[in-house]
Amino acid sequence: MKKSNSELWIKIVFIIIMGLIISNSIYVKETPELTATLALEDRLRINALLCPNTINTLNSELTGYCHKVGFHGVVMVVERGDIIYNEAFGNTNFGKERIALQTDMPFQLASVSKQFTAAAIMKLKSDNLLNYDDVVTKYIVDFPYPDVTIRQLLNHTSGMGNYMYLLENVWHNDTIYPQNDTLMRLMAQYRIDPYFSPGMRFSYSNTGYVILASVVEAVSKQSFSDYMQTNFFKPLQMNETFLPSAKPDTIGNAVKGYIRSRRRYYTSLPSVHDAIVGDKGIYSTSWDMYKWDKSLYDYSILSPDVLDEAFTPSTVGNKKRTILYGFGYRMKQLDGYDVIYHNGLWEGFRINYYRFPELKNTILVMNNNEFNIGSVTSKVRKIINNNNPENIECRFTIDCFLDGHPDIAGYAFAMAAHDNPEATDYIAIVRQKLWDMGYYSLYEEMGSAIQLTINN
């Protein structure tokens, strides 16, 4: 693995530990008003002060390019665990009266939804309601494949056939579409032929994740949508994240998908598969996806040991061969770093979601017209992964304030003042900009903690 600023990160870890030890003696005042009222949009503005070069580079590289190639979507960038960029490009529609895309508009996540389905299973496992090596028939009695386990569904080694072929052949109702419970009955009735014996090979399977969502419903006694809202979306305040009902016209202000053909755009038509969830189906915004991404670092929903297994490659063929897929996530190396990622493609939407845990960098690119977004993702990746962090001591200090830890921030300032006087000068500049922008509480909190640190 590439090592970047290793001494600095050791120092930062030391700062955190020491800050926690001496927090009661340095600074005792908390910042409930600040931490309760600072919106994501405000945080984005503040972070723009801390890394202007990166922001300017992203803007200059993306603005002209996205217009040139016909990209219509949203690009969100998280650097060092904090959101620094969230911009919309292009339009929601392609008629005569165009409507500009906004960052608060939900997109269909397509297969990026799979990580949420896997998270639901992991939550049930954490609550001791199931085990990964349980057979599916323990929870869905008439499931016609007695040897398939939950783990095999999670890592695409179950051998399940494609449910879409079944629905396209046997479902003929154009006014309402089948949901998961109906599909489970159809699978029991028609029994799709499996591709191979469970656990012997890897074959990416949408069917497997539909079955997992049905397991969630069977175990929790809730609809998949209700379970996700109760256990993930509401606790994380992902207020614009949802699953639609069986009717395809109930997606509110969500972005619609378009098919591009011969330089023209056509609205993606409703599909018999639209109400099936687990493999796809979740709508979300870039803001909400940032909240989700942050939860994977602070373990607010799932514990470290649970997530570690999700990010660990699986094995097939009696553990003789490793596959680079965990629970809802693919994995590989890019730029010398491990990347945990997933792509999505469904009915006019393309989604890229890339996480670099060593750097705590994340890229989310969402598009509504099936444009191949790999080039956009690549441009962003090269900018942030090869970027020398700007004023990292200052960014760390202010991040502590934003996260409600003024004691650690004060100690971090003291370390920065000792090792890098330029960083402390920059903190003064940023403080003045915060005052000019109206963040008076943050300005005062920073000044108080810094002064108390100096006095001590």
Amino acid (one-letter) located at 160? M
Is the pLDDT at 372 greater than 60? The verdict is yes
Identify the band that residue 5 occupies on the pLDDT scale cut at 50, 70 and 90: low
Mean pLDDT, the chain, integer: 86
pTM over 0.75: yes
Is the pLDDT at 365 greater than 90? The verdict is yes
Nearest to 285 by CA among 253, 245, 225, 241: 241
Rounded Cα distance, 138 and 154, in Å: 16
Is the pLDDT at 345 greater than 60? The verdict is yes
Identify the band that residue 28 occupies on the pLDDT scale cut at 50, 70 and 90: very low
The answer to whether the beta carbons of residues 274 and 113 sit under 8 Å apart is: no
Identify the band that residue 212 occupies on the pLDDT scale cut at 50, 70 and 90: very high
Average pLDDT on 257-276 reads 86
At 6, phi and psi to the nearest 5? Answer: -60, -40
97 Cβ partners below 8 Å, 6+ apart?
A: none
Which pLDDT tens digit goes with each residue over 285-338? 999 999 999 999 999 999 999 999 999 999 887 777 899 999 999 999 998 899
Nearest to 310 by CA among 277, 301, 82: 301
The pLDDT of residue 138 is 97
Is the pLDDT at 24 greater than 60? The verdict is no
Higher pLDDT, 176 or 142: 142
**Which domains occur in the chain, in start order?**
6-51+389-455 (no CATH), 107-385 (3.40.710.10)
Is the pLDDT at 21 greater than 80? The verdict is no
Identify the band that residue 14 occupies on the pLDDT scale cut at 50, 70 and 90: low
Average pLDDT on 394-420 reads 75
Average pLDDT on 241-253 reads 70
The pLDDT of residue 397 is 78
The pLDDT of residue 31 is 36
The pLDDT of residue 35 is 43
Cα distances (Å, whole numbers) of residue 440 to 52, 59, 213, 395, 450: 22, 29, 47, 18, 15
Average pLDDT on 332-349 reads 93
The pLDDT of residue 30 is 39
The pLDDT of residue 7 is 58
Which pLDDT tens digit goes with each residue over 49-75? 888 889 999 999 999 888 888 899 999
The pLDDT of residue 6 is 58
Rounded Cα distance, 71 and 63, in Å: 10
The pLDDT of residue 157 is 96
Is the pLDDT at 356 greater than 90? The verdict is yes
Which pLDDT tens digit goes with each residue over 45-55? 888 888 888 99
Is the pLDDT at 33 greater than 50? The verdict is no
Identify the band that residue 395 occupies on the pLDDT scale cut at 50, 70 and 90: confident
Q: pLDDT above 90 covers what percent of the chain?
A: 57
Q: pLDDT above 70 covers what percent of the chain?
A: 88
Average pLDDT on 85-108 reads 92
